[in-house]
Amino acid sequence: MSGMPPDSGRDPGLAVCLSSSFFGYYAHLGVLSAMEEAGLRPGRIAGASAGAMAGALWAAGLRDAALEAVIYDFHFLRAFFDLGAFYRWPGILTGLVGAGLLSGVRMRRYLGRVLGAKRIEDLQSPRLEIAVANITKGCSEVRTRGPLNDFVIASCAMPVLFQPQRIDGEEFLDGGVVNETPFDHWLEDPLIHTIVVHRIRHTSGMKGLPWQTPGGVMGECHRVVSGELLRRRINDAEISGKKLIFLETEHDHPGLLHGRKSRGFFAAGAETFRKSPLARPPARTGREIPLSPAERAS
């Protein structure tokens, strides 16, 4: 793994929130890459689902060729799936046996080879925070400690598609179930002055049946709930006085087989940042010649 060493150029008060989105880690990483090119290095990253995956790869130090070797690797995409899904399908379809099609075992092995056995708290430049739904306690959590790979997979574990992920005696599912944009835990943090929230909007639907399906209806319900919760978070942010900046990337729905499109999704995320006010240098005001001692004293 090629990594970026911790540097002093990070702004501890700049925090980036990466939303949940179906295979959205390409665009998220595109945004983070463009931010770093512009000299903006956040001190904190929080992510849900695909945002957690992107945040983990970035906070672990993967950049450039090392990052591309992972996210464009066919084996990385394939690691989300396992052959056991074919045997679990009848039980899931009838509702008689099983809680999810995919186990997450292959992705855990893959991340172990790429990231090693890191813990979330090992990543400090930037610090990483992962949103998960704790179904044992019945609450949403933002984890700052614990086994990195396990919590990344738990945050990506979409209900029914994935089995609940068991970690230290508790079960977890997709962080985006309740907390699609995990930034509200920063609103009372005096060290945070600016929060950048990156979201992804699909300009086309996932190709499938031409009529509504239970899964599609559930997805629409989740979209409505997430939108309402986001409006409340935005209101809370205004009350807190934090500077909140939204970036939104638009691209086609990835679908399950999106290999050839993945580089375009990354580029779309990078372009989102480059077109944003954050990428533009502030207008110069006043003179650039330093004040003389007499002027400074006056």
pLDDT digits (tens, 9 = 90+) for 150-160: 999 999 999 88
**Mean pLDDT on 179-201:** 94
For residue 7, the model assigns a pLDDT of 54
What distance in Å separates the CA atoms of residue 157 and residue 151, rounded to the nearest whole number?
10
Q: Locate 127 and state its tokens.
A: 């610090």
Q: Locate 4 and state its tokens.
A: 């970026």
pLDDT band at 226 (very low <50, low <70, confident <90, very high): confident
For residue 23, the model assigns a pLDDT of 84
Q: With 50 as the cut, is the pLDDT of residue 30 above it?
A: yes
Residues in the chain: 298
Q: Locate 158 and state its tokens.
A: 């979409």
What distance in Å separates the CA atoms of residue 229 and residue 280, rounded to the nearest whole number?
31
Classify strands 194-202 and 243-251 as parallel, antiparallel or unpaired. Answer: parallel
For residue 206, the model assigns a pLDDT of 56
DSSP class of residue 4 equals P
Average pLDDT in the chain:
85
What distance in Å separates the CA atoms of residue 292 and residue 240, rounded to the nearest whole number?
40
pLDDT band at 164 (very low <50, low <70, confident <90, very high): very high
What distance in Å separates the CA atoms of residue 57 and residue 131, rounded to the nearest whole number?
15
Which among 271, 277, 245 is positioned nearest to 34, based on CA atoms? 271
Q: With 50 as the cut, is the pLDDT of residue 236 above it?
A: yes
Query: Which residue is associated with the tokens 């996210």?
Result: 71
Q: With 80 as the cut, is the pLDDT of residue 12 above it?
A: yes
For residue 216, the model assigns a pLDDT of 66
Q: With 70 as the cut, is the pLDDT of residue 243 above it?
A: yes
For residue 291, the model assigns a pLDDT of 44
Q: What is the pTM of this model?
A: 0.84
Q: With 80 as the cut, is the pLDDT of residue 285 above it?
A: no
DSSP class of residue 118 equals -
By the 8 A CB rule, do 46 and 183 touch?
Answer: yes
Q: What are 44's strand-pairing partners? A: 15, 127
For residue 94, the model assigns a pLDDT of 67
Identify each DSSP E strand in the chain by its residue range.
11-18, 42-48, 100-102, 127-134, 139-143, 160-162, 165-167, 170-173, 194-202, 243-251
Q: With 70 as the cut, is the pLDDT of residue 297 above it?
A: no
What distance in Å separates the CA atoms of residue 182 and residue 200, rounded to the nearest whole number?
14
Higher pLDDT, 289 or 156: 156
For residue 292, the model assigns a pLDDT of 42
Q: Locate 181 and state its tokens.
A: 């944009």
Which residue type does 175 have?
Answer: G
Higher pLDDT, 102 or 205: 102
Give Cα separations from 165 to 88, 97, 124, 157 (angstroms).
16, 17, 25, 7
